[in-house]
Structure 1
Amino acid sequence: MSVKSLKNLSSLKECSPKGFYPDMVYVNTNESDLRIIQEQLISTEKIGNLYIGVSGLYNFNIASIRDLESILIFDASPTVKFFYKNIIKIIKKNSRNETLKEIERFIKNNETILFKVEGEDNISSNAIRILNEEIKENLSFLSSDERFMKIKNIILNNQFLFVNLDIYKEGSFDDLVDKLTENNLTIDTLYLSNLDLDIIKKINFKFISSLKGANIISAGDFCMQRLTKIDV
């Protein structure tokens, strides 16, 4: 069965915690073992057609090495929604090299919106530096034309969606699970960053139950990434 457009999921009820903090964008990840996780995913059999994840551009880095049809990003932060709205526009209009330049320009020009942390300087410069380091180390979706075009084609085919969802709100993902089933979407890989999987299991069990066999990327002790699967 073919996958329907993710636009069919646009009716999802969004929710963001009132006064959510920190309402900022983590353009990159500060987690370690990124190369190990990517190598493991490259050699892991595909079990679905959808990538789903939280936070910034690291999602595209992972999605670009899985041969999937769709990407769904969720985050409780309205600022992350603003970030992706602009990043998607940039990717649609530009080549890989121009995309990097435009992303750098966007980050610099919107520093006060994207990074709401008092007492810290050079956040945008550090984000741009790390982005370029990831590209050189072949860890980024911008590291090659092939990886970039995988992401761009998903976007051009209307198979990308961002939704403001708070995974720590009980039952907040129930509607999503139903709509994924209706649209022939099966989760292949889920990126949780440092979100607590044990808490999520208790308050969004229906969602967790839908992840049987999927790749789960999360950050353990000392921000070290780990790749697991859920046997529900």
Structure 2
Amino acid sequence: MEIRDLPHVPLFRGLAEEETALALAALNARRLPFRRGRQLLQAGQCTGRFGLVLAGRVHIEHLDVWGSKTLLGQAQEGDLFAETYACLPHEPMLVQVTAASDGEALFLDGALLLAPGSEPWRQQLTRNLLEIAARKNLELARRNLYTAPKTIRGRVTAYFSALAVKSGSLRFTLPYDRQQLADYLGVDRSALSSTLSQMQRDGLLVLGRRTVELRTPPETL
């Protein structure tokens, strides 16, 4: 994604190209290329800057003291990450941001965005940021629903049902690979694979490498 494309991403929606350029200068925007596996932000650190993915993907992860990793979400091209912490610059991060592929991010200063000012671009960006934060809160609530069932089959059913509704079809593409899906649902990878294989044998779904087709409405578990 080029800088000229920014008015089409959610954060800059409603801004003209000239206003976008003013905002980038005022927010001390910096581009950062990254390679897969690089940690862009570490748990425990404080940050006053948040990122916008220009290319590639990053994962938002929680790593406990025993090294167990939980995948909380991902940010793709046009998505933000760490915006909540940038608005609370003295709050240590509870998550880490890791590059899931090669790519590039644009970092912006949160304090400069929230500083008093009457510029039209500032008001529009603040509204856009509030809407993005609200949508992310909804996504976290959805994840709580996916991980509420006690069985792995129940979690898979809840998540796949939501993906089917979102895509408007019983056939959809998974946003995660098998290990990432296990991390996202908070289950063991081998146990997840076993459950998916059993559900396929039961005729409930057909699995591709990253695709799923639900054969019958998932049972309530």
TM beyond 0.5? no
Structure with more of its chain in strand, by fraction: 2
Pair member with larger Rg: 2
Q: Normalising by the residue count of structure 2, what TM-score does the alignment of the two structures yield?
A: 0.32
Q: Normalising by the residue count of structure 1, what TM-score does the alignment of the two structures yield?
A: 0.31
